[in-house]
Chain A
Amino acid sequence: MELFRAENVNKEFATVKALTDVNISVEEGCIFGLLGPNGAGKTTLIRIINQITAPDSGNLVFEGRSLHQKDIERIGYLPEERGLYKKMKIGEQAIYLAQLKGMGRSQAIKSLKQWFRKFEIEPWWDKKIEELSKGMQQKVQFITTVVHEPRLLIFDEPFSGFDPINANLIKQEILQLREKGATIIFSTHNMGSVEELCDHVALINKSKKILDGPVNKIRQQHKSNTFEVGYKGAYRNLVRGLGNNFSVLEHEEGKEGNSVTIRYLNGGSSNDLLSALLPEVEVTSFNEIIPSMNDVFISVVENSNNN
């Protein structure tokens, strides 16, 4: 089921186009990766979803009806540039932010105490933000984003500023939130975490959406007919077998055996390659290379910039 949809969203700042006819559809219970180079328009789109700015044109649909001011309480937003009131006590501050999201005071205190215990920062309840380490501030910020149990969560670079242990903690929390039924829009430049977490991605470049789909499907689609083959035998023989239909990208010889990366030039199946190789060398391993999200990102953005 679809939780959120943006239809033909346009936004212009003075003379700069920030979003051009952008459509996205976020399925309920999925982690939706919102990708794109710096300045592509991601933050503008996120702010539009949060109703911080209004689109010049386009529709926003939440839970099957038009996005309403009141829906703000069902969305949690962790912006990339974070901050809290430096001079305010953490507990009070967290309660205040939870109340702004529509929680009652006593309920907010109860949930916040639970989260503080979980993140092991309960002793800091009465401390001021400026007395905390950056990592701890980030934890507080994360808690204030999720405490009101929003249906839609928007995380912009959620792992920045965390050490690997805490980054992992946050990652586990995000996965748990999804299990509990939250839908997550996740914006990051870290393609590793996109592969790890995201079910679906959309890529925005220069105000336009240039790619959209499930992560697995996208990676499959961007296969470049490249194979990694381990073999025993002479490289010379192998090249002879390949003929003109293939090009060798990489070749390495080792004690245990040799390996080669081959690209199929004219298109064809893996079986064609195998049948060309088998008469010449002994194949010990055979893998089709599926591109990483990083490769997909780079090739798609570069392609779109060249056109």
Chain B
Amino acid sequence: MNKTILILKREYLTRVKKKSFIILTILVPFLMVGMFALIIFLSVSDDKEERTIAVYDESSMFLGELADDGNTKYEFIPPKKYNEIKADLQKSPYYAVLFIPGNVYTSNYAKLESTKQIPFELSERIERKLSRFIENDKRQKVIAETNIPDLEEKLSATRTRVKLSTLKITDSGEEKKSSSIVAFIASYAMGFIIYFFVFMYGAMVMRSVMEEKKSRIVEVIVSSVKPFQLMLGKIIGTALVGLTQVAIWVVMGVIIMVATQAFFAPETAQQMGQSIMESQQQMAAIPAATQMAEPNKAMEIMNMISSLNLPLILFSFIIYFLAGYLLYSSLMGAVGAAVDNDEDSQQMMLPITIPLILSITLLFIIAKNPEGPVAFWMSMIPLTSPVAMMARIPYGIPTWELLLSIFLLVGTTLGTIWAAAKIYRTGILMYGKKVNFKELIKWLRYKS
């Protein structure tokens, strides 16, 4: 046991001290921040573009009714000028030309022409402006014609928006408010973290095994410790490297977030908030309703998060994370021991990585329909369950399914470690032999 710790320590220290590790660990958060900053910058700066839209209003209904909003200005033009501009839109000072036909009330049709790609958000805004105006105008006319008292108020009263509150009834019969969006994000994130970690650090274990085999030092080491101790020390040591990296990222992430907020808060944060609000307004059919809900948004999100069964999620995350990592890294360690060169290792890795890749590609489907057959079976099969089950848990899951899945995974992991140790033990001292799966199965039968 003592020697396993020695191996673990060496594995950990040599990796953590490596230049590539330090650079990658420091660089990644900055890259992420840079990427986000770029996205924000692009979306904010995009909004800042001053646009003047020429409006040719054939119906002459909208004159003075299209108020400038934000950076977009509307300029009404006579028919003659419309043709002029249309003939050479490129050279005109206008960003686009809006043509409102005479029969717009009946056809519900207008045209926005530009030489540039018109942003979806802009066309939506104009659409909404026109619709709202026509709708209001029609309503006023109806009110005037029918002459029913207080019709305006009555019509407003008929405006209905049903808010669906999703509740999940747990086994104990208690009702819990669940949010599918928060659950979706949580499930996706956790599935992805496990996938990423298993893939990256499992491959690291494999490379480390191959390095020892290639440099031939492995024979000296296994004359001091049992191969199993070497494998275990390597797997745990590498896992600690990964956890260190993640811990550094979390700390750096928090620091950067706090720093960015303090630095940019007055301008950018507000702009960001505005653009989010705007987009939300656009999404909602009736803006007023959303606006009412706005102040409680943060509270609501907090409520949604607390609606998740956090202790269960955390508990399962740890189990699936550990078992998944152990399962895959021992398999990859065995592959590293069995092969002599990189080409062979890629060939052998393929069947191992397929279930992993499959589970990450189907993650979306699983998170969308966590009770479906795909989700069920993938969360039971041990090679896919670490990713697939984590995607299901935030939605709540029958206890027996969870226990069965954990049981299968842990059992398979233990069996795999046993088999991997056998392959590892034989493989590390085997040179110049092209191994196939038949050969590997033979190795399993060798006496220790």
Chain A positions within 8 Å of B, measured between CB atoms, are 13-14, 47, 50-54, 56, 69, 72-73, 75, 77, 79, 81-88, 96-97, 99-101, 141, 144-145
Please determine whether B216 and A100 come into contact, CB atoms closer than 8 angstroms.
no
Tell whether B147 is near chain A: CB-to-CB under 8 Å.
Answer: no
Contacts of B226 in A (CB 8 A): 69
Interface residues of B in 395-448 (CB under 8 A from A): 429, 431, 442, 446-448
Q: What are 6 inter-chain pairs, A to B, with CB distance below 8 A?
A: A47-B429, A52-B223, A56-B447, A73-B224, A75-B223, A83-B220
Q: How far is the CA of A14 from the CA of B430 in the complex (A)?
A: 13
Least CB distance, B84 to chain A, in whole angstroms: 73
Q: How far is the CA of A79 from the CA of B222 in the complex (A)?
A: 11
Tell whether B10 is near chain A: CB-to-CB under 8 Å.
Answer: yes
Say whether, besides A72-B223, A97-B224, A100-B225, A52 and B429 are in contact (CB < 8 Å). yes
Give A51's nearest chain B residue, CB to CB: B223
Contacts of B61 in A (CB 8 A): none
Tell whether B3 is near chain A: CB-to-CB under 8 Å.
Answer: yes
Q: How far is the CA of A69 from the CA of B373 in the complex (A)?
A: 50
Give B224's nearest chain A residue, CB to CB: A100
Chain B positions within 8 Å of A, measured between CB atoms, are 3, 6-7, 10, 14, 211-212, 215-226, 429, 431, 442, 446-448
Say whether, besides A14-B442, A54-B448, A100-B3, A77 and B215 are in contact (CB < 8 Å). no
Please determine whether A82 and B216 come into contact, CB atoms closer than 8 angstroms.
yes
Give B7's nearest chain A residue, CB to CB: A100
Further contacts, 16 of them, CB under 8 A, given A75-B223, A83-B217, A100-B6: A50-B223, A52-B219, A52-B222, A54-B448, A77-B220, A79-B219, A79-B223, A81-B431, A83-B216, A83-B219, A85-B14, A85-B211, A86-B215, A97-B220, A100-B221, A141-B220
Q: How far is the CA of A52 from the CA of B425 in the complex (A)?
A: 9
Say whether, besides A14-B442, A97-B224, A54 and B215 are in contact (CB < 8 Å). no
Q: How far is the CA of A141 from the CA of B225 in the complex (A)?
A: 17
Say whether, besides A47-B429, A88-B14, A101-B224, A79 and B447 are in contact (CB < 8 Å). no
In the complex, the 8 A-B pairs of residues with the closest C-beta atoms, listed nearest first: A83-B216, A100-B224, A83-B215, A50-B223, A77-B223, A83-B217, A79-B219, A81-B216
Least CB distance, A77 to chain B, in whole angstroms: 4
Q: How far is the CA of A13 from the CA of B439 in the complex (A)?
A: 12
Least CB distance, A8 to chain B, in whole angstroms: 16
Contacts of B10 in A (CB 8 A): 96
Q: How far is the CA of A140 from the CA of B29 in the complex (A)?
A: 41
Least CB distance, A11 to chain B, in whole angstroms: 9
Say whether, besides A54-B447, A83-B215, A144 and B220 are in contact (CB < 8 Å). yes
Q: How far is the CA of A54 from the CA of B223 in the complex (A)?
A: 12
Give A129's nearest chain B residue, CB to CB: B215
| Residue of B217, B219, B224, B448 touching A85 (CB-CB under 8 A) | B217
Contacts of B6 in A (CB 8 A): 96, 99-100
Least CB distance, B186 to chain A, in whole angstroms: 40
Contacts of B218 in A (CB 8 A): 83
Q: How far is the CA of A161 from the CA of B189 in the complex (A)?
A: 54
Q: How far is the CA of A247 from the CA of B10 in the complex (A)?
A: 68
Contacts of B14 in A (CB 8 A): 85, 87-88
Give B3's nearest chain A residue, CB to CB: A100
Q: How far is the CA of A19 from the CA of B222 in the complex (A)?
A: 21
| Residue of B3, B216, B442 touching A79 (CB-CB under 8 A) | B216
Contacts of A101 in B (CB 8 A): 224
Q: How far is the CA of A56 from the CA of B448 in the complex (A)?
A: 9
Q: How far is the CA of A13 from the CA of B429 in the complex (A)?
A: 13
Max chain B Cβ within 10 angstroms of own Cβ: one of A52, A56, A101: A52
Least CB distance, B214 to chain A, in whole angstroms: 8
Contacts of B217 in A (CB 8 A): 83-85
Q: How far is the CA of A85 from the CA of B224 in the complex (A)?
A: 16
Contacts of B448 in A (CB 8 A): 54
